Amino acid sequence: MITINNLKVKYGDEVALNIKEPLTIEKGERIGIIGSNGAGKSTLVKAILGIINYDGVINSDIKPEEMSVHLQENNYVDTMKIKYVIEGILNTKISKNKRLLELINFFDFNDCLNKKYPGLSGGQKQRLTIILVLMQDSPLVFFDEVTSGLDFETRQQLMLKINQWYKNKNTTILIVSHYYEELEQIAKKILILDKGNIVDFGYKEELFKKYCGESVIVVDNTEKNKEITERFNKLIAPKHLIALSCKDSEEQLLITKVLIENNINFKRSNNDIEIMSINAKASFRLRNGEENKDEYKAC
């Protein structure tokens, strides 16, 4: 569906994106794009949409006009009620469009129709764009930080509804998010970016095995836990956690046995995208000869 090759995007002198090896996105794939701030996630989306200048090649089966996108920032005019904004953009009448009515009900958006855009809350603003994007029914959809700035409950609700909507559809979805649980819900493949470079791209399970092993066991980072887990293989983890890598079920059993014997709470996962991406990035930086920080030693 989309092939990217030698893609370079610059903002002034700063290289925001530098994809050297070919990157192919197939029809129907659900891809999660992760990376820290400034990793080039939104820049990649904008380049595919053709709304920024770039060097290199982006070959696509579909035109940018056929793609739909929920940008990080979406604004609408404040000169009319939301219902007229929806009708104008979607070229339809709300009362006569069964599918649109269904979607408005689905997202509990009825009460917002007579308001103007500045009168909507953050979550309502996000839902407006989601309704408009879903109504487009495009073969390729981008969700760029669709839930940023929303509370936990609203985030969960939105993602659940987006998930339900696309459940039996062959739509290609690229979702950029800082919230790993959202990617776990939707994405089958993960694209990890770091400072404009591709760290890795592949199926979630394959990347997890590559960087974390069979499974990961996570405990709180306390002195006692450090001591108890000293002999096990550790992965890089957020400062408040200790992540233990299990290369097979035997090792997993051994670790859990020790933790239970010592009455330590733990979390076991075979799809922890956060731990996986942290370790993938560290490994990538190490391969590229970047400063050998302590955190990289675990790789």
Contacting positions for other proteins (CB under 8 A): 49-54, 58, 60, 63-69, 71, 73-80, 84-85, 87-92, 132, 136, 138
Closer residue to other proteins (CB): 92 or 154: 92
Closer residue to other proteins (CB): 82 or 282: 82
Contact 218, 269 (CB under 8 A): yes
Q: How far is the CB of 150 from other proteins (least distance, A)?
A: 19
Q: How far is the CB of 23 from other proteins (least distance, A)?
A: 15
Closer residue to other proteins (CB): 71 or 191: 71
Q: How far is the CB of 141 from other proteins (least distance, A)?
A: 11
Contact 246, 255 (CB under 8 A): yes
Q: Distance from first CA to last CA of the chain, Å, rounded?
A: 35
Q: Scanning the structure block, which residue is given the tokens 């957020």?
A: 238
Q: How far is the CB of 227 from other proteins (least distance, A)?
A: 54
Closer residue to other proteins (CB): 135 or 280: 135
Closer residue to other proteins (CB): 72 or 157: 72
Q: How far is the CB of 138 from other proteins (least distance, A)?
A: 8
Supply 298's token pair: 């675990």
CA dihedral 104, 105, 110, 113 (to 10 degrees): 10
Supply 40's token pair: 């080039």
Q: How far is the CB of 3 from other proteins (least distance, A)?
A: 12
19-39 CB burial, b ≥16 within 10 A, e <16:
beeebebeeebbbbbbbeeeb
Q: Scanning the structure block, which residue is given the tokens 């794009």?
A: 33
Closer residue to other proteins (CB): 48 or 199: 48
48-77 CB burial, b ≥16 within 10 A, e <16:
bbeebebeeebebeeeeeebbbbbeebebe
